[in-house]
Amino acid sequence: MERTSAFTVLLFLLLGSSRAAVEEENPEFWRAQAKQTLQSVLDRQLNTNVAKNILFFLGDGMGITTYTAARILKGQLQNQSGEETVMTMDTFPHVGLAKTYSVDFQIADSAATATAYLCGVKTNLNTVGVNAAARNGVCRTQKGNEVTSILKWAKDAGKSVGIVTTTRVQHATPAGSYAHSASRTWYSDADMPDSAIGEGCTDISSQLLKNVDIDVIIGGGRQYMTPRGTKDPEYPADFSSGGKRRDGRHLIQEWQNMKNGKVAHYAWNKTEFDAIDPDTTDYLMALFEPGDLRFDAERDPSMDPSLMETVEKAIRILQKNPKGFFLLVESGRIDQAHHQGNAYLALHEAVAFDGAIARALELTSEDDTLTIATADHSHPLTFNGFPFRGQSILGKSPLWGTDMLPYTTLMYGNGPGHKIVNGKRPDIRNVNTNSMEYIQLSAAPLDSTTHSGEDVVVLARGPMAHLFSGVQEQNYIAHAMGYAACVGADLRHCQGPITSAVDRNSVSPGGNGAAGRSATPISILLASLLGLKILM
């Protein structure tokens, strides 16, 4: 067996040595490339403008392995080798790492992490928009422990705000921007225990309407907004897709009634969505599914818009505000595909996410828009096995195991892909591991792959993007965004002296350069004081 394994290693090394492109065999290729990159870094100037706008892109479950594998897939989808591909996120000049643990667990969930990077406070697993004094599922511990988010700070400062997600709009990540709940799963009142309702806690859907006046709400989650017995407009024959609320409230209609006197549109399909003119729209709620949206690889383009399309519509509505905007964009189904042990779906979601970021950059200016791309946590996805250059990222390693069976380049530490029959792994020599349905092998059996606890990447560009360098606690992100945009408690950035050449020479369209710093509105100062009192 050892002799056979050694021969296999030698063979694949010899084969792999012939895969390099001719120019890559010339050392000058690499020297010239590095020289060009070095010069671009040396020429870089810090942008210390006040951020008029903030675009916050969150790849749920997009750990560094997912990020790297998605880069390769993106290139391979364009008939390239893949490894050398440049993602839009790769072009962000400032990069850091965030530590993702929660107060009570080494490995966190999306609710605890959302509270950290949106509200600036670390908390406990499964709780959202509350500090760590609150306990999971215990309503009475929620009261008095609420914490506000960067979305609310921005709204209080007069900016327009929005959320775009590929999950239900009540899910952990978007909920972190507006809700306060001892349980992330209290999507509607039907999901709450009677004791919690009796103690005065409210469901996340009702808080979506009440807590913050959100200008743009795009995602899924129709069924949590309507009463029991309400048929879903897309799936009227499917009882499980219908309304879930026990209290009889129709929150979509309530939202429409609340916007009296404003141009407010509700859409549940692409035809309605496409007909909405962002130039004349004040408010938009678009809920395309009863629950989470479909995976991008399975999406029906005639019924559901892409993430790129929803992001563009949101930006065009929000950017009409001369004071700027805050937009949270979540690619939430990267995480859900990983939970299924399906790398194909996860990576295609991440590629679509990068495309949406590219479109957002085209619609905004780096002078006045701070753009962040990060993840909330990772997954136990491994990238292994010495695959050849340009080999499919979803393919099999040329180096087989000592049991003389192949394995895929991407595998999971745990999850539904654990299959041991009579003490042996499955033989996948004749299995198409590039298919949408393939579930990667995993080391330990679980119905759903867990999260993992390594640091996640934080990429930034635009005003004060250099604040997002280094290794930081995840809750630091909210405070750095607030400082950059002069929202929330820390207004020093719009009050201090201008010392940077970038500041002296550039004034953004919204007055965020020298002219924009002459005075601080009383409303912002008041919001700051109120926010500080709440956070204390």
Does 161 have pLDDT greater than 80? Answer: yes
Of residues 262, 256, 220, the one with CA closest to residue 241: 220
Residue 393: DSSP 8-state: T
| pLDDT over threshold 70, residue 501 | no
Q: In what helix (H) or strand (E) does residue 172 lie, and over which residues does it extend?
A: helix 172-175
Whether residue 173 is annotated as binding a ligand: the answer is yes
Distance CA 131, CA 133 (A): 6
Helix (H, G, I), strand (E, B) or coil at 112: helix
Any idea which residue has 């306060």 for tokens?
A: 180
Annotated binding residue 330: yes
What single-letter amino acid sits at 233? P
For residue 206, give every residue at least 6 positions away whose Cβ sits within 8 Å of its Cβ, in sequence order, or none. Answer: 189, 249, 251
Residue 88 counted as an annotated binding residue: no
Q: Give the single-character DSSP code of 94.
A: E
Catalytic residues: 110
pLDDT at residue number 19: 56
Domain boundaries, the chain: 53-379+458-493, 396-445
Taking the C-alpha atoms of residue 305 and residue 269, their distance in angstroms, rounded to an integer, is 8
For 373, other C-beta atoms within 10 Å of its C-beta total 27
The C-alpha R_g of the chain, in whole angstroms, comes to 24
* Residue type present at position 445: P
Report the pLDDT value the prediction gives residue 506, as an integer from 0 to 100.
39
Write the pLDDT tens digit of every residue in 240-278: 999 999 999 999 999 999 999 999 999 999 999 999 999
Residue 451, number of CB atoms within 10 A of its CB: 21
**What pLDDT, on the 0 to 100 scale, is given for residue 500?**
43
pLDDT, residue 495, reads: 83
Residue range 77-123, pLDDT digits in tens: 999 999 999 999 999 999 999 999 999 999 999 999 999 999 999 99
In 3D, which of 245, 249, 134 has the Cα closest to residue 199? 134
Give residue-wise pLDDT tens across range 510-521.
333 333 333 344
CATH architecture group of domain 53-379+458-493: 3-Layer(aba) Sandwich (3.40)
Give the model's pLDDT for residue 524.
38
Q: How confident is the model at residue 496 (pLDDT cuts 50, 70, 90)?
A: low
Is 113 part of any known ligand binding site? no
DSSP letter assigned to residue 134: S
Whether the CA torsion 71, 74, 80, 81 is positive or negative: it is: positive
Neighbours of 448 (CB within 10 A): 12
Q: Is 418 annotated as a binding residue?
A: no
What are the start-end ranges of the E strands in 240-368? 264-267, 283-287, 325-331
Enumerate residues 6+ apart whose C-beta is below 8 A from 253: none
**Residues with Cβ < 8 Å from 430, sequence gap 6 or more?**
none
202 annotated binding-site participant: no
Average pLDDT over residues 2-13: 49
Question: What pLDDT shows up at residue 327?
Answer: 99
Percentage of the chain lying above the pLDDT 70 cut = 89
Residue 149, pLDDT > 80, answer: yes
The span from the CA of 438 to the CA of 103, in Å, is 36
- Is the sign of the CA dihedral 178, 182, 183, 186 positive or negative? negative
- Mean pLDDT within 385-395: 96
Rounded-to-integer distance, Cα 112 and Cα 122, Å = 7
Adjacent-strand bridge partners of 411: 382
Identify the residue whose tokens are 């990238």.
383
Helical (H) or strand (E) element with 370: strand 369-375
335 is in an annotated binding site: yes
- Dist CA 415 CA 445 (whole Å): 5
Residue the block writes with tokens 């990020």: 67
Instruction: For strands 325-331 and 160-168, give the pairing.
Output: parallel
Q: What is the mean pLDDT of the chain?
A: 91
Asked which of 229-233, 317-321, 520-524 is least confident by mean pLDDT, the reply is 520-524
Mean pLDDT of 185-200: 98
Q: Where are the alpha helices (DSSP H) in 324-448?
A: 333-339, 343-363
Q: Are 212 and 326 in contact (CB under 8 A)?
A: no
Greatest mean pLDDT among 1-10, 19-28, 149-158:
149-158
Kindly report the pTM of this predicted structure.
0.90
pLDDT in tens, 407-459: 999 999 999 999 998 899 999 999 999 999 999 999 999 999 999 999 999 99
Query: Length of the chain, please?
Result: 536
Residue 64: is its pLDDT beyond 60?
yes
Best CA proximity match to 92, nearest among 66, 118, 57: 57
498 or 189, which is more confident: 189
CB neighbour burial string for 515-529, b if at least 16 within 10 angstroms, e if fewer: ebbeeeeeebeebbe
Torsion angle in degrees (nearest 10) through CA of 172, 173, 177, 179: -10
Do the beta carbons of residue 49 and residue 503 sit within 8 Å?
Answer: yes
More confident residue, 303 or 517: 303
Whether 378 contacts 64, CB under 8 Å: yes
374 annotated as belonging to a binding site for a ligand:
no
104 is in an annotated binding site: no
Q: Does the pLDDT of residue 235 top 80, yes or no? A: yes
- What is the torsional sign of CA 254, 284, 162, 123? positive
Helix, strand, or coil (residue 295): coil
The mean per-residue pLDDT over the stretch 276-298 comes to: 98
Question: Which one-letter amino acid corresponds to residue 309?
Answer: E
pLDDT band at 497 (very low <50, low <70, confident <90, very high): low
Burial of 206 (0-12, 13-18, 19+ CB in 10 A): buried
Question: Maximum CA pair distance of the chain?
Answer: 80
